[in-house]
Structure 1
Amino acid sequence: MLDPVEPEGPISAPSHPTPRKRWRLFLRSWRWTVPTGILLASVAAYATLQTYEPLYQGTSLLEANNGVLYPPGVDPTIPDLAKSEKTVLFDPIVFDPVLADPNMRNAPSLSDPHTAKENLSNNLSVAEAGSGFRMKVCYQDTDREAAAMVCNAIVESYLRQRDGFDHARTRNLERWLEPELQRWENEVEVRQVKVAELNEHLHGKSASAVERELTMNSVMQLGSKLSELETRLAVLDAQLSLDESPDDSPSGDLESLPDAPRVQTDQSRKRERELLAVEVEVVKTRFEEQRSKLKRMRGNSTELEFARAELNVASSVLNKLRTREATIRTETRRGGAVRLLAPATAPQDPVNSPPVKRAALFSSIAFFSPLMLGFLLGFRRDVVTQPR
């Protein structure tokens, strides 16, 4: 039996591939790895781009209608429109008319009745538009025409509810001013009768002393100030009565509408009313003191002049209340607290971009995978067949 032939020297470890061997391995496998890589890269890019769905955004621009005719206290301005009106825009009384419109079912995001309300809330956004007095209402959808259509429908529903609420508030304010107007009209009539009676008995006698003239001027100034304070107090009482009463809105839905411009104002108005009442009492006390002083100096003839001063005060309050009522009616014809500047139009470009970078990454991985596989298989075969 022949003995096994012993190797003449130690078995050499396989050497690492040199650049020349790597090039040879690549040339050996490129005929099938490159076409395969191109095919896989194309499939990966196509599959990635197929996941892209363009989103179009319809945008409407609105502005707070802060008119110059409003005196302080008739209707408050809105310093931050987007922040204060966001709650109203997302309220069901705005969403429900939109969802009830059959034409809205043509929008892809609202085609399913079970998810329409959730999609409407998720795709709607409200943001400031350059200043606190302007806001933009945006709605996103996969169809450009549907995005503009739904956005305009939401804005129309919101403006309809807001205008109805503003008109109800104005009517309530007019209603609560009517008793004050009636009271001061009666007061003016009573004081006119008193002046006529005193004028008949005293023949309008007047004094010319400097001291009495100064006192009379003081009485007139205090009377003017008292007139202004009582006007403010009357309007503030009307507003407080309005805030404490239930809304007399034309629709039951308006009762749930939050009055965003009046948030956190009740306490401040009550404090203002208390301070104003104290100031009125102080001025009245001073007014009575000056009246008594003037009466002592001038005798019975002062009663006539003071009656005229009281008549002027009452007439001034009545005129201011009538001016306030006329202003409210004028502002009612002016429109609501918010107005539409620009409706939404169909956008030309989507807001999201195609996933080109992700498609390029996946295509590169798919292209180089066959090349690496061919290189590894060729290297393994080269190592296995390498002579020991």
Structure 2
Amino acid sequence: MSPHPNGPDSRRQNSSGRAKVKRSAHGNDKSNIEFDPKLLWVTVRRCWLWATPIGLSLAAAAAFIVYSRFVPIYQATHLLEANQDYVVFQGVMPTSRNLAATERQLITTDLVLDSVLADAEVQATGLFQNSEAAKNALRAGLSIGNAGVDSLLTISFKHADPEVAALVCNKVTEAYLVQRDRLDGERVSNLESWLAPSIELWKSEVQAHEKRVRELSKAALGFDPTQRVEGLENDLSILTGLRRDLANYIVEESILEAKVAMHEAGVSGESDRNIELPKLEIPEPTTAEIDRYVESSAEVSRYENRVAQLQGMIRSMEDGDLVRIQRDHYEGLKTQLADTEDDLRQARIDVRSTAVAEIKSDALELAERNRKAQLAQLEFKRKAELKLGQQSDQQRLAELKAKRAITQQEYDNEKARLEKQGGNSADLKFAQEDREVAVGILAQLNQRVAAIRTERRRGSGVHTMAAANTPTRPIEPMPTKNMVVVAAGAFAIPFLLGLLWEFRTQRISDATTLESKDVAPVIGEVARLPSKIGVGKRQRVFEESIDTLRANLMLSRDTVGVRSITIASSMSGEGKSSVSSQLAISLAKACGKTVLLIDADLRSPDQHAIFGLEMGAGLSKVLSGEVDFDNAIDRSLGDLVHVMPAGQLDMSPHRLLNASALRDLLDRALEHYSYVVIDTAPVLAAGETLAIAAETDATLVCVMRDVSRSDTVVRSSRRLEAAGANVVGTVFSGVPYSNYAYRYGDYRYLTPKHDRVPDAVATPTPAGMPLHGGMNEQSVL
């Protein structure tokens, strides 16, 4: 590629292409900070070296704390069984089909727990006082279930002391059995009391029928009633069957009426009993809950909106290049922003001071509403169950009364028919039958009462199978699960901190990240400098990346005619000095003409150290007029690359690097050199770089992998463009050899052995950085 004609006119003519490069270099503004899932892997890659030992230390400490505070919990279990035995009459005393479901409420009632807390042995332990807190502790430690089948009931209690666990478990079971016996006794007594009126009624019925039989027997003397009574035997058999059915219906009616009365009494009694739930305990709000409460506050939101508004106005002025025109207004906005941010911090502090009380108050109100709803649901369920049992018995009672009425009607009709045929003998026979029916009903009622009293002697409906013994092994010998969870969380803490830091700093780890930023497009990726000089793959890939950058720059239609190039960066350590030196060598190799490399970083120059040169008078003396242009150039490297070091700085760089002096310097340089590459100071740290970039044909912004930050790159690009610089592209450097080879491949070339450059020709620098292909003319050509 041949250079363009020399002279200042050609450089000025090329400035007309800057607007075109600017328009094509930027897309939409997507610089808003967003979370990228790739940041997780980037965090691990960057932080594992220091985060792993810290995480392991924290994990070990957390696991040790959990282990040191671990208190083994023992569980004692008492096994009970539904009493299905009977003395004589089977089914008289019914038992529950699911003990755990029906007995849970009784076991956890105050009747049982108050009795346990009042026990002398329990009080002797000193662990439970007769208070509501102790009662809640008992409920929390109790667990009720079944042992595989519904007819078995297990009552378990958990405690750190195994003896206390066994003691409390047995005491709770004993108190429960006492209450169960009392309730069963009350049930039997109630049933007997409700059957007593029916028994008395039928006693009087038996007496009335006996009296009638005696009267009819007297009236029947004087004639032989035997023939007439015997003639009625066949007809009376039907009447006897009807009498027997009536007797059975009457007995069942009496029993069901007693049950219905018991249900009605039970419903009214149960409705007066309050269901007690554990006392509400509102936990302390977490840090996340407090933060959400603070951020949702109206005062904080108002200040946040104001901060966002001011930041938008400032950003709009920076983007529209209005800062220089309205400097006072810009500074005033920044002052307002700082004051508003202070107000925002104070508002957050004020809201946070009351956040705990407000959050707990809201949580308590919500818990109270949920508690009332739960109580209402339990009360409704209990009444519904009682009502359902009552309705079932009432339905059966109504059916029995209907059957009895039908049977009674049939009996009355049959009796009337026989009375017409049998006369007094039939009346006597009927009276005897009525007496027998009444005696049968009374006998059945008495038998029912006797059966209840007999079966009551079998004992409680639930009895112990195995009492609780002192447990010898805790439920969990070691808190393995908690230790693993806590250790994992502690191990992740440094990585989370690293993730937060990476998310905040938004360091660039991939060239594709720059595509979504408001910066010039990536014009080339530069591989990481190899640690050793030689002809290995890493050096070959590095040199190839520099040559690719040079080709992309010089062959692009947007940069046609570019001869003076500024290499800039946002901050120090982003590879601009390395890119400057290597790009100058690559340009010299490509065109075969001399390239001038100017070190314009007057504050912290590097080019003389990179090439191993003397500092000399350099650029600072040329700009101050103390040394002529030609005398400040170091030509010791050969005829391809000449270097103008920075020189010793003895005054402010802003005074030296003014627009007129830079124009004269560049005009002089372009008269003698095909290309001029200028290494500059960081844009954000040194304002003089803006003046240099404004006078050159093109500016490249260097970005270092894992070092450069998105916000600084965007800000430096905007400042360069606002100053009039032609930012033609971004250079992404520091790419690992493996990544570069994966993305672009490693396509090596072969040369004859006599043309290859021996390792000794490559000149290492004091900093250990290899030069691009060696620095003598034979090696580069």
TM-score by length of 2: 0.39
In the TM superposition, residue 356 of structure 1 has moved relative to its aligned partner by 3.6
Superposed counterparts of 1:151-162, under 5 Å: 151-162=169-180
**Mapped partners of 2:384, 2:471: distance in 1:** 31
Q: Does 1:189 align with 2:207?
A: yes
Root mean square deviation of aligned Cα = 3.9
Partner of 2:467: 343
Q: Is the 8 A contact 2:83 2:460 kept in 1?
A: yes
Alpha-carbon offset, residue 326 of structure 1 = 0.8
Say which of 212, 216, 233 aligns to 2:236: 216
- How far apart are residue 305 of structure 1 and its match? 1.3
2-side partners of 1:106 and 1:259: how far apart?
40
Instruction: Report whether the alignment pairs 1:150 with 2:150.
Output: no
Identity, % of aligned pairs?
29
Distance across 2 between alignment mates of 1:75 and 1:160: 18
Identify if the C-alpha distance between structure 1 residues 52 and 211 changes in structure 2 by more than 3 Å, giving closer, same or farther. Answer: farther
CA distance in 2, matches of 1:98, 1:187: 51
| Partner secondary structure for residue 94 of structure 1 | helix
Q: Which runs of 5+ in 2 are unaligned?
A: 1-51, 276-381, 495-530, 533-765, 770-781
Runs of 5+ unmatched residues, structure 1: 1-32, 370-381
Q: Which residue of 1 aligns with 2:118?
A: 100
Distance 1:180 1:360 in 2: 71
1:160–1:301 CA distance, 2 compared to 1 (3 A): same
> 2:656 matched to which residue of 1?
none
The residue identity in structure 2 corresponding to 1:215 is D
What is the Cα deviation at residue 336 of structure 1?
2.5
Secondary structure in 2 matching 1:299: helix
Q: 1:272 to 1:349 in 2, by over 3 A?
A: same
* Deviations, residues 103-131 of structure 1 (Å, cap 9, x unaligned): 32465863695631221111111112232
Selected match of 2:434 from 310, 318, 330: 310
Indicate the SS of the match to 1:126.
strand
Shift in CA distance, 386/264, structure 1 to aligned 2, threshold 3 Å: farther
Check if 1:230 corresponds to 2:354: no
Describe how 1:163-202 pairs up with structure 2 within 5 A: 163-202=181-220
One-letter identity of the residue aligned with 1:274: A
Given that residues 77 and 261 in structure 1 are in contact (C-alpha distance below 8 angstroms), is that contact kept between their aligned partners in structure 2? no
Does structure 2 conserve the Cα–Cα contact (< 8 Å) formed by 1:59 and 1:343? yes
1:326 aligns with 450
CA distance in 2, matches of 1:44, 1:246: 56
- Describe the superposition over 1:267-293 as per-residue Cα deviations: whole angstroms up to 9, x where unpaired: 111121111111111111111111122
Relative to structure 1, the CA distance from residue 104 to residue 201 in structure 2 (aligned partners, 3 Å threshold; closer, same or farther) is same
Residue 263 of structure 2 is aligned with which of 243, 259, 262?
A: 243
CA distance in 2, matches of 1:316, 1:324: 12
Contact 2:118 2:130 in 1 (8 A): no
Q: Residue 199 and residue 37 in structure 1: after superposition, are their counterparts in 2 closer, same or farther (change >3 A)? A: closer
Residue by residue over 1:185-219, the C-alpha shift from the partner in whole angstroms, topping out at 9 and shown as x without a partner, is 11111111222222233257245899843321111
Letter in 1 for 2:466: A
Larger gyration radius, structure 1 or structure 2: 2
- Contact 2:180 2:460 (C-alpha < 8 Å) held by counterparts: yes
The 8 Å contact of residues 108 and 146 in structure 1, kept in 2 or not, is answered as no
Which residue of the partner structure matches residue 761 of structure 2? none
Closer/same/farther in 2, CA of residues 82 and 96 from structure 1, 3 Å limit: same
User: Is 2:209 aligned against 1:85?
Assistant: no
- What is the aligned partner in structure 2 of residue 28 from structure 1? none
Which residue identity lines up with residue 77 of structure 1 in the other structure? T
Match of 1:295 among 400, 405, 419: 419
Q: How does 1:352-367 map onto structure 2 within 5 Å?
A: 352-356=476-480, 359=483, 362=487
Matched residue type, 1:135: L
1-structure distance, mates of 2:385, 2:471:
32
The CA deviation string for residues 243-268 of structure 1, in whole angstroms up to 9 with x for no partner, is: 33479x9xxxx988999996731111
SS of structure 2 residue aligned to 1:156? helix
Change (3 A) 1:307 1:386: farther
One-letter code aligned to 2:261: S
Q: Distance in 2 between matches of 1:159 and 1:201?
A: 63
Q: 2:392 corresponds to which residue?
A: 268
CA shift for structure 1 position 147: 0.7
**TM-score, normalising length: structure 1:** 0.74
1:28-43 equivalences under 5 Å are: none
Report 1:7-22 matches (<5 A): none
Find the aligned partners of 2:100 and 2:55 in 1 and give their Cα distance.
53
Rounded to whole Å, the distance in 1 between the matches of 2:130 and 2:113 is 15
State the AA in 2 paired with 1:269.
D
**Structure 2: distance between partners of 1:46 and 1:127:** 35
Distance (Å, rounded) in 2 between the aligned partners of 1:155 and 1:290: 60
CA distance in 2, matches of 1:291, 1:260: 46
- The 3-state SS of whatever aligns with 1:135 is strand
**Cα offset, 1:137, TM superposition:** 0.9
- Across the two proteins, how many residue pairs are aligned to each other? 336
Distance (Å, rounded) in 1 between the aligned partners of 2:455 and 2:273:
22
For the 8 Å contact 2:66–2:479, the answer to whether it is kept is: yes
Distance 2:464 2:387 in 1: 23
Matched residues in 1 for 2:142 and 2:227: separation?
75
> Which one has a larger percent helix, Structure 1 or Structure 2?
1
Read off the aligned partner of 1:346 and give its amino acid letter: T
1:375 alignment counterpart = none
Partners of 1:127 and 1:178 lie apart in 2 by 39
SS in 2 for 1:352: coil
Instruction: Say which SS state the counterpart of residue 220 (structure 1) adopts.
Output: helix
Alpha carbons of structure 1 residues 71 and 86: separation in structure 2 relative to 1, 3 Å: same
Counterpart-to-counterpart distance in 1, 2:103 and 2:261: 24
Question: What SS does the aligned partner of 1:130 have?
Answer: coil
Matches for 1:275-286 after TM superposition, within 5 Å: 275-286=399-410
Cα distance in 2 for partners of 1:141, 1:312 equals 66
| SS of 2:388 mapped into structure 1 | coil
**Change in CA separation of 1:41 and 1:192 when aligned onto 2, cut-off 3 Å:** closer
Which shows bigger deviation, 273-282 or 108-117?
108-117
- Structure 1 Cα separation of the partners of residues 84 and 263 of structure 2: 21
Distance 1:180 1:196 in 2: 25
Q: Relative to 1, partners in 2 of residues 1:43 and 1:237: Cα closer, same or farther, differing over 3 Å?
A: closer
**What is the CA–CA distance in structure 1 between the aligned matches of 2:460 and 2:413, rounded to whole Å?**
47
Offset of residue 39 of structure 1: 8.9
Question: Is the Cα contact below 8 Å between 1:63 and 1:341 reproduced in 2?
Answer: yes
Following the alignment from structure 1 to structure 2, what is the Cα–Cα distance between the partners of residues 260 and 170?
A: 24
Q: Residue 10 of structure 1 corresponds to which residue in structure 2?
A: none
What amino acid does structure 2 have at the position aligned with 1:226? L
Rounded to whole Å, the distance in 2 between the matches of 1:78 and 1:143 is: 34
